[in-house]
Structure 1
Amino acid sequence: MVNHAEIAALKWDVRQRLTLLESTLLLTGWVRTQALVETFSISRAQASKDFAVYMSLRPDNLKYNKSLKYYEAGDAFTPLLLTGSATDVLNALQVVNPQQTPVVTLSAALPAIQVVQPLDRQLDWSVLRVVSQAIYQKRKLKAAYQSMNRNEPTELTLSPHHLVFSGFRWHVRAFSDTHQAYRDFVLARFRGEPPQLLNETAISGDHDEAWHQTIDVIIEPHPGLPESQRKILAEDYGMIDGTRCEPVRQALLPYFLRLMQIEPERQHPDPKIQQIILKNPEQVQPFLWRNN
């Protein structure tokens, strides 16, 4: 029986090493202590200790092969730290893009992995630095911002409270003195000189109702698909009784729908293409951008 308190008590660096150890066992079926030594620049004694910790938490996952001198995955291998989500392996292997091999791996014989990602967008570090400092220091900033609704940049005074990655690009959630409202601003649209950090206390994000309120997004397999195919999709998305309910911040709702390709106005009529759909569009519609 796994002691979940012991897992929760693992130090961050130990947990990372054990997660990668487990990922390698899952993907290749074996691992050596030397891999920990070389990958993390730790002593052999520390590597052996890590293996001992892992075996104490999940003893059936590892068995030592004396002839080949490495640890193999046990016949009853059951992940201890990996949850089964698609991002688990990507995070563990640190696959940044298809052209790069995993930076941190515990075995030289990993299976072939190809990752499809959207085109990487450029991020100005000077913009990110000031925006992040403004959030941390709770100060206002001034910046020129190029809206897609105007031909020329507009000078804005913002009180940022959160950075957001939408799955494709970086945004900042902020109160705009100019608009007298909380809005999202794309970091790549800040123009000219880097934003200027002001000696003015920022307006708190505590009153950003769209940020603090959540909307339940309910998805289900397209009803036009055969039952056997709907069952596969339900399993793939971890649905219960054919649906999955995901609470999403109201402010981030349009990004989530776009990322999942379930925006009501863009859903494809062919169920083979639009395999999952939004089950509760009437609850979601009022919070889409075009209705704000």
Structure 2
Amino acid sequence: MDLENVSYAQKQRLAYIDFKLMFTGSVTRNEIIQRFECGTAAASRDLALYKQLAPKNLTYNTTEKQYLLESNFKPLFNHDARKTLVKLANEISDGFDAISDTKFPVEAPSSLNVPDLMIVARISQAIFQNKAVNIIYTSLSSGSEARDIVPHSIVDNGLRWHVRAYCRKSEEFRDFVLTRITKASIKSGLSKEYEHKEHDKEWNTFISLELVPHPRNIEHPTAIALDYGMVDGSMTIKTRAALTGYLLRRWNVDCSNNAELGSSEYQLYLNNKHLISGAGNLTLAPGFQDL
């Protein structure tokens, strides 16, 4: 049997199996039953058919009672990179976009580039399995080199995708741009306790940003207040310290000491700069200088 002779409903379930294997490294019969509210017999048939269509993609682990990703896995479905990243960001796990013919009248900003989906898949698998990844990473400062990282979150910062991870070389939590990773292989053995997300201080610290209409660039501040749903001329956004610099740059928030950025692109001003000096990536924030 091939995919052309499979019903639409079963294709959905097969795509879910494909997606789960690719991005988490495993799938169970119960996950299929719960996701699609089907019976045990139907889920078993789906797994048997997937095994028939892609025999080298999975193997059954009798001890853990789950199907595990094989090292020579090749996706059965064509998972579109941009759509899949959105699904991952919103915890949508059916992976079923390859045969959808529904076109919505909504346009999103174009991306200059998207990460290699197999790189994203290995990073995602490592997160679910609490394992380290050996990567080849090209940085602006040191060029290409191998390093071991323990990833815990994949982030869309509005400009590009990066992974937040503990870096064993620098012995600290850092951001790694996904498009700069050219090779990724999961290492054996579980990661150490101190490498886990719970120990990433900047990630677990939340900061409140008080934003107001720019006091110099905006002639009619009520317009900006309406744009952002401000109350009494201001709004407060709560964000992770590790993401603060990215967000302020994405929103073109003037973070200078005295609203000194005069360009019209800066419609918002950070009104509580003195409270965020310990946040991450503040060098990216427009006009920011330490007090």
- Report the TM-score when normalising by structure 1: 0.56
Residues 133 and 222 (structure 1), Cα distance of their counterparts in 2 relative to 1, 3 Å cut: same
SS, match of residue 285 in structure 1: coil
Q: Distance in 2 between matches of 1:168 and 1:273?
A: 17
Q: Distance in 2 between matches of 1:164 and 1:119?
A: 15
Aligned twin of 2:249? 258
Q: Which amino acid aligns with 1:121?
A: N
Aligned twin of 1:239? 230
Structure index of larger Rg: 1
Aligned twin of 1:172? 163
Aligned twin of 1:196? 185
Q: Distance in 1 between matches of 2:275 and 2:113?
A: 32
Q: Distance in 1 between matches of 2:232 and 2:158?
A: 28
Shift of 1:204: 1.3
Residues 174 and 103 (structure 1), Cα distance of their counterparts in 2 relative to 1, 3 Å cut: same
Equivalent runs, 1:1-292 vs 2, <5 Å = 103-105=102-104, 115=107, 117-150=109-142, 152-191=143-182, 194-202=183-191, 203-224=195-216, 229-262=220-253, 264=255, 269-270=261-262, 272-289=264-281, 290=283
Q: Percent identity over the alignment?
A: 27
Shift of 1:226: 6.6
SS, match of residue 243 in structure 2: helix
Q: Distance in 2 between matches of 1:252 and 1:144?
A: 24
Is the Cα–Cα contact under 8 Å of residues 158 and 177 in structure 1 kept in the other structure? yes
Q: CA RMSD in A?
A: 2.8
Q: Distance in 1 between matches of 2:215 and 2:263?
A: 8
Q: Which amino acid aligns with 1:281?
A: K
Q: Distance in 2 between matches of 1:116 and 1:165?
A: 14
SS, match of residue 164 in structure 2: strand
Shift of 1:288: 4.5
Is the Cα–Cα contact under 8 Å of residues 268 and 274 in structure 1 kept in the other structure? no
Is the Cα–Cα contact under 8 Å of residues 222 and 271 in structure 1 kept in the other structure? no
Q: Which amino acid aligns with 1:162?
A: S
Shift of 1:189: 0.8
Shift of 1:121: 0.8
User: Residues 81-135 of structure 1, C-alpha deviation per residue, up to 9 Å, x if partnerless?
Assistant: xxxxxxxxxx9xxxxxxxxxx9445xxxx7xx7x472443131112111101000
Q: Across the two proteins, how many residue pairs are aligned to each other?
A: 181
User: Residues 172-206 of structure 1, C-alpha deviation per residue, up to 9 Å, x if partnerless?
Assistant: 11111111001110111112xx3110112123111
Question: Which consecutive unaligned segments of at least 5 residues does structure 1 have?
Answer: 1-90, 92-101
- Report the TM-score when normalising by structure 2: 0.56
Q: Distance in 1 between matches of 2:134 and 2:151?
A: 11
Shift of 1:265: 5.3
Shift of 1:280: 1.3
SS, match of residue 286 in structure 1: coil
Residues 184 and 269 (structure 1), Cα distance of their counterparts in 2 relative to 1, 3 Å cut: closer
